[in-house]
């Protein structure tokens, strides 16, 4: 039986030696892969920094409207009428004219800057204090003007607000 144990021990030693050799080979491969991955990560970080620099440059040049290969055509467009702050139904067309003007001259930055700050809050404040004072025709006109200034006013809300502000004898 000792011959059999010795034979098994020899086989076990051979297998352990082969596994140890394969393990060392795998460790060497993993070290090489890790080094390669680290080099790739460094290369990618460098490329990202370059691209961020190019992107920043593009933002600066586009912000200044400097286009290398695209010629800029200046179109003489009629200027819109001056907006005087009154928000009547008839004068809402002024906003459309301004938008068309900005589109025609290709000035998207100014188009984006044209924003009436606090107009929604002011309109809600006026609407809270609003009630019918004169004729129904005047009331409808004033209510319509306020409605145009309020963003996201649903039809149901508008109807109930309209009805609540009417004089009770109407």
**Burial (CB count <10 Å: 0-12, 13-18, 19+), residue 20:** exposed
Provide the token pair at 95: 């906003």
Q: Do 81 and 97 meet the contact criterion of CB atoms below 8 Å apart?
A: yes
pTM: 0.34
Amino acid 102: pLDDT? 72
Provide the token pair at 1: 């039986």
Asked if residue 150 has pLDDT above 70, the reply is yes
DSSP state of 152: T
With tokens 């790739």, the residue in question is 40
Mean pLDDT (the chain, rounded): 78
pLDDT band at residue 121 under the 50/70/90 scheme: confident
Asked if residue 17 has pLDDT above 90, the reply is yes
pLDDT band at residue 41 under the 50/70/90 scheme: very high
Give how far Cα 131 sits from Cα of 105, 144, 152, 167, Å. Answer: 43, 13, 21, 8
Q: What percent of the chain has pLDDT over 70?
A: 70
Provide the token pair at 102: 């900005």
């Amino acid at each position: 039986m000792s011959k059999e144990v010795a034979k098994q021990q020899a086989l076990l030693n051979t297998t352990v030696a082969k596994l140890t050799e394969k393990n060392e080979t795998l460790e060497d491969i993993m070290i090489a892969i890790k080094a390669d991955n680290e080099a790739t990560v460094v290369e990618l970080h460098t490329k990202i920094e370059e691209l961020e620099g190019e992107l920043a440059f593009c933002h600066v040049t586009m912000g200044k409207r400097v286009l290398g290969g695209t010629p800029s055509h200046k179109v003489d467009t009629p200027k819109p009428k001056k907006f005087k702050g009154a928000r009547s139904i008839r004068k809402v067309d002024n906003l459309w004219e301004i938008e068309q003007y900005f589109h025609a001259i290709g000035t998207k930055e100014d188009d984006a800057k044209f924003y009436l700050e606090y107009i929604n809050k002011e309109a809600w404040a006026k609407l809270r204090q609003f009630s019918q004072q004169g004729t129904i025709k005047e009331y409808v006109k004033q209510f319509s003007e306020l409605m145009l200034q309020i963003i996201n006013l649903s039809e149901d809300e508008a109807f109930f607000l309209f009805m609540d502000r009417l004089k009770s004898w109407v």
